[in-house]
Amino acid sequence: MSPFSRRAFLGATVLGIAGCSATGNPLILPTDPVVNRTEVARGRTGRTRAVTVTATEGQVDLGGPVVRTWTYDGVLPGKELRVGAGDLVEARVVNRLPADTSVHWHGLALRNDMDGVPPVTQAAIRPGEDFTYRFVAPAPGTYWFHPHTGTQLDRGLHAPLIVEDPAEPGAYDAEWVVVLDDWLDGTGTDPDQVLASLRQRSGHLMHGAAALGGDVAHPRHLINGRIASAPVTFAAKPGQRVRIRLVNAGADTAYRVALGGHRLTVTHTDGFPVVPVDTDALVIGMGERYDVLVTLADGAFPLVAVAEGKNGAGMAVVRTGTGASPGPEVRPGELRGKVVGYDELRATAPLPVRRPDVVHRLELTGGMMSYEWGVNGRSDGLQRVRSGQRVRLEFVNTTMMWHPMHVHGHTFQLNGPRKDTAIVLPGQTVACEFDADNPGQWMVHCHNAYHAEAGMMTVLGYEEQR
């Protein structure tokens, strides 16, 4: 089944057939008045942050190699969007691409009709047209935005979204947003060609022995849009405390990240605060974010992001003094040090313990042989929930590949941290819980762009209560 027919079927399921489904109550669609009532009940500051984002085709310099690709406003990553918690975001998205697009605000528990998932929550934005997203930014943290259309995530269409906390103690001197990205677009191929070849040549591809390997050999790894031999430099002073906001915007790559000569203090996972914990390195799956604090030494230090189970790495430089810049092949010893796991992280404001009202077992299925992926063996499933329920999702990975599973519209509780995207290793079961307090139709999917497009998606569907 082509992605288009699959998506059309999904849309029909959610928006059409389900309205008169014989097997359950009617679903609460994005157009339902309760979606707006829920938005009105959200705290709002009264400030409006208006911005225009133009998705466009053009050339980008990766630090030597120049590629033709798709970006927001011609830059890579797209310009950071910075708002305050409670602000009304008014983002006009102009589509100058030769294809339909959309924008998903990754990690935000926003109103369902602004979630940016065609055809489930809106119609796609057609070439030459525009769409204005209007929503209250509900919670502070490090987020990002990208299309929810085809494999566009693996072009240059992504940008950080920082929601500031008016009550943040601000125990740091400077901030640095770091976007990690695996790159192949414009290097003789593009993401659509890669997906087509995965489907044709499947079974003969790299599929590393490493637990966190990938399906696709991205030839470049970027930090803030630059390859390691032409890195961006973050300038600061020795002794300064810096908050680094790490975003993995890659399509098929987990990154192991360390800053040479420094330990990192993890303070947030996917936007939400944790009891601070020190580590040498972090492993970050696609879609995940970590905030860390670091007190800088004197000199020039490499921030390295090694592609797990692949060849290559991205690098940036932190410079607080004189000294030679680190070379692109440098691999700080911290990369082989302690990596903090989910089980060592504790949310400072965990969800209160409560018995689940509904449990959905989501078996992650599929493989490389046919390159079809699914949830419970299908790409168009529906997981019914009702407002007020404590929901438990159990991701059971029966595949040979790892999957970073992402839930839209909610930040769930793991056994430890709050997150919206969680790595599920082969053979592993990961349970997450959340309160159903954001009515609508929400995607639950793998954040490997190729797995998602090849079917590893389901819908978390709020239904009406009768």
Nearest approach in angstroms of CB 446 to Cu ion is 3
Scanning 4-12, 112-120, 259-267, 443-451 for contacts with Cu ion by CB under 5 A, the matching segment is: 443-451
CB of 353 to Cu ion, least distance (A): 30
Closest contact distance (angstroms) between CB of 421 and Cu ion is 11
Point out which span in 267-275, 292-300, 375-383, 438-446 binds Cu ion (CB under 5 A): 438-446
Q: Does 151 bind Cu ion (CB under 5 A)?
A: no
Query: Measured from the CB atom, is 152 or 448 closer to Cu ion?
Result: 448
Cβ-based nearer residue to Cu ion, 45 or 376: 376
Closest contact distance (angstroms) between CB of 402 and Cu ion is 7
Among residues 71, 269, 421, 448, the one that binds Cu ion under rule CB under 5 A: 448
Residue 406 binds Cu ion (CB under 5 A): no
Q: How far is the CB of 23 from Cu ion (least distance, A)?
A: 28
**Minimum distance from CB of 405 to Cu ion (Å)?**
8
Q: Rule CB under 5 A: choose which of 7, 146, 218, 403 binds Cu ion.
A: 403
Q: How many residues does the chain have?
A: 466
Phi then psi for 72, rounded to 5 degrees?
Answer: -90, 115
Judged by CB under 5 A, the number of residues near Cu ion is: 4
CB of 413 to Cu ion, least distance (A): 22
Q: Between 78 and 285, name the residue whose CB sits nearer to Cu ion.
A: 285
Binding window for Cu ion (CB under 5 A); candidates: 195-203, 205-213, 301-309, 403-411? 403-411
- 451 interacts with Cu ion by CB under 5 A: yes
Residues of span 37-66 touching Cu ion by CB under 5 A: none
Nearer to Cu ion, 7 or 243 (CB): 7
Rounded-to-integer distance, Cα 128 and Cα 126, Å: 6
Nearer to Cu ion, 55 or 286 (CB): 286
| Cα(136)–Cα(112) distance, integer angstroms | 11
81 binds Cu ion per the rule CB under 5 A:
no
Nearer to Cu ion, 390 or 451 (CB): 451
* CB-nearer residue toward Cu ion: 224 or 383: 383
3-state secondary structure the chain: CCHHHHHHHHHHHHHHHHHHCCCCCCECCCCCHHHHHHHHCCCCCCCEEEEEEEEEEEEEECCCCEEEEEEECCECCCCCEEEECCCEEEEEEEECCCCCECCEEECCCCCHHHCCCCCCCCCCECCCCEEEEEEECCCCEEEEEECCCCCHHHCECCEEEEEECCCCCCCCCEEEEEEEEEECECCCECHHHHHHHHHHCCCCCCCCCCCCCCCCCCCEEEECCECCCCCCEEECCCCCEEEEEEEECCCCCCEEEEECCCCEEEEEECCEEEEEEEECEEEECCCCEEEEEEECCCCEEEEEEEECCCCCEEEEEEECCCCCCCCCCCCCHHHHCCECCHHHCCECCCCCCCCCCEEEEEEEEEECCCCEEEECCECCEEEEECCCCEEEEEEEECCCCCEEEEECCCCEECCCCEECEEEECCCCEEEEEEECCCCCEEEEEECCHHHHHCCCEEEEEEECCC
Nearer Cβ to Cu ion, position 413 or 448?
A: 448
Q: Smallest distance from the beta carbon of 456 to Cu ion, in angstroms?
A: 5
The reply on whether position 446 binds Cu ion by CB under 5 A is: yes
The site for Cu ion (CB under 5 A) is made up of 403, 446, 448, 451
